[in-house]
Structure 1
């Protein structure tokens, strides 16, 4: 399926965008390594065309660090360590740092024990959940991860329904392949973005609504609460935006059977599925992760298309914190 690129989009090379994001995060107090890590993740997501979770998020993150709502230099602590389990406390820091630590932990534990789970708490936004699935795929691990929040409160608006009980937590599945695009189902558990269309959706496709509602509760329960955020003190974080949790499960496919045969079969199924006719109204037959993978290959060479609105937002950040725009020099 072709990627829609607005007429006003300007292509920016990934290295320049990484340099800018790194310097912006350093300027608001992050250590060099942490700033570079988060910048790399944001640009990876832009390369894949998931614009909502790429460098657009800098506006939010820069404000959180400048206003003291997220800790720029956290002391991350592993508060539980078992052969196949771990829990990390983020000291109010960036969620990317915690989710990375958790993913690194499950990779090593799953390679040793076959399966592992890690949870995190007391941190900010973790970004696109697919980041962590792709980290584990480099070690041929299958994963499932979810993110959520803490301090759930009953909605107070007068017209609130059970649909409003949960927000929009992400979830992701990653499956290793032998060739071509890996299988990465990176999604939001909320399938209905426009609340005003709830009644219409219930009439025309009720399964869609009830399954989405169930996934939203599941994500919150497994990510937002499982790491120990059900206690009253956890509802009053020292850093006010450190209200997130994350959970990832990793499975070492090689300990269940023939890894290469498994990956070859997954690749065959995906390849042959993509050779079928596209769904109505689409120009190509794609499976989860394949379109994003194609964008990565193309944009790494030709640049990431950014709209004027996106570029203006980055310019505003640059002016506000006094960092240069590398693609303008």
Structure 2
């Protein structure tokens, strides 16, 4: 899904943002929130993370229309200390409490050296890298994970307990782009993944490590945020608000020279770029390099929207009575 398609339309980022905002407003979202959501989704498209970009708005508009998610949540800080935050999402999409938490952590982290936020009572946060990058843009190291409501029983594989949640790390650099690792802990191991059984047979160690990451997503991003293990114990005002997140910020400047650290990161980026790529790949890069390159290039030339992506948006536009402007 995140590969460039053979046939695509090149769409200016601002035109795509305008469409996303219009669609969510048709579903009942306020202009202010719709514009923020549009920025965050289209930023993912710009980076080539199409799976978590504007195509997601079709699902979001439908779950708001159907009453599964609050279209206009009143996001609130429930409690805080000098180094911690608890943010309630009021049954809305997770983008709003998670983005607010990441922004509020910046000053707390600079004051304390490390700061953490938990968000609760919300839906999908989207790509975890959205929020780790907020911290990296302020020269902070970021870690983000999310958890969701599980539905477990004894007849299922233990893999089901690992969920389908994301994790992201972001580390600032100097002249280079930040190193951003953003991934689904159980990606390629979902029930419908075509190579799951083969991976279990050939590389069980890798599978166990992925499962371990998935378990941690649920513990830190879910249970810590008040998501219960058993679905029957859940008491959600909005059925789709069944997720939480954990965001941690670390200030490298509290442990030494920030400039020296960023210089080392630049050198690391440069040296690894000269190394031999994996078989079948044409470049050796660290996480986040390709995404940053796309963001610069497509920000100027437009975003390549493939035929299937366009079809998803076109169907949503018809459902909500607006025009797809490309």
| TM value normalised by structure 2 | 0.94
Q: Name 1:296's counterpart in structure 2.
A: 295
CA distance in 1, matches of 2:109, 2:204: 38
CA distance in 2, matches of 1:4, 1:126: 22
Gaps of 5+ in 2: none
Q: Name 1:155's counterpart in structure 2.
A: 153
Deviations 1:89-137 (A, max 9, x none): 1110111001011111211210111110000111010001111111111
Q: Name 1:212's counterpart in structure 2.
A: 210
1:189 and 1:216 in contact (8 A); partners too? yes
CA distance in 1, matches of 2:130, 2:108: 19
Q: Name 2:160's counterpart in structure 1.
A: 164
Q: Does residue 193 of the first structure (1) align with residue 189 of the second (2)?
A: yes
CA distance in 2, matches of 1:123, 1:21: 20
CA distance in 1, matches of 2:226, 2:201: 39
Deviations 1:136-167 (A, max 9, x none): 112100011101113x33236x4x22112222
CA distance in 2, matches of 1:48, 1:22: 19
Judge which range, 95-104 or 301-310, deviates more: 301-310
CA distance in 2, matches of 1:203, 1:138: 41
Q: Name 2:87's counterpart in structure 1.
A: 88
CA distance in 2, matches of 1:24, 1:319: 10
Gaps of 5+ in 1: none
Q: Name 2:179's counterpart in structure 1.
A: 183
Q: What SS does structure 1 have at the residue aligned with 2:89?
A: strand
Q: What SS does structure 1 have at the residue aligned with 2:296?
A: helix
Deviations 1:185-222 (A, max 9, x none): 00110143354644432332121111001000001100
CA distance 1:231–1:81, shift in 2 (3 Å)? farther
1:155 and 1:165 in contact (8 A); partners too? no
Q: Name 1:222's counterpart in structure 2.
A: 220
2:142 and 2:249 in contact (8 A); partners too? yes
Shift of 1:326: 2.9
Shift of 1:24: 0.9
CA distance in 2, matches of 1:314, 1:273: 38
1:191 and 1:208 in contact (8 A); partners too? no
Shift of 1:83: 0.8
Q: What SS does structure 1 have at the residue aligned with 2:115?
A: strand
Aligned residues between the structures: 322
CA distance 1:177–1:153, shift in 2 (3 Å)? same
Shift of 1:256: 1.5
| TM value normalised by structure 1 | 0.93
Shift of 1:237: 0.5
